[in-house]
Amino acid sequence: MASQNVLALTDESFDSHVLSPGTVAVVDFWAAWCMPCKMLAPVIDDLANEYAGRVTIGKVDTDSCRDTAIKYGISSIPTVIIFKNGEMRKKFVGLQQKADLRSAIEEVIESD
């Protein structure tokens, strides 16, 4: 079960939740049929709980939100993108370790 701190993002809600000034957001692009995506889900849930109130963490189902997936050039999943102030700062393709994602999030938070 997904953490209550993970937003289910849609093509319609993506911009308002992710691209707002002053926002740091981590977005997991995934699909229900993707086994590595299922393996990454607990990591995303843990990070959402750790960063609750500080970082927006959401998931985009690439099967139902094709426009957003195309806009960000998602050709392989899972893909995790970290945004700050509406700009893409880091992009990870494939299954990632929690420590690597946490390190990247901290780096983005501390950046200008």
Task: Supply the residues annotated as catalytic.
Answer: 34, 37
For residues 57 and 6, is the Cβ–Cβ distance under 8 A? yes
Give the DSSP H or E segment for 87. strand 87-93
CA distance 81 to 93: 9
A 10 A CB-CB count for 94 gives 11
CA distance 19 to 88: 9
Any idea what DSSP says for residue 79? E
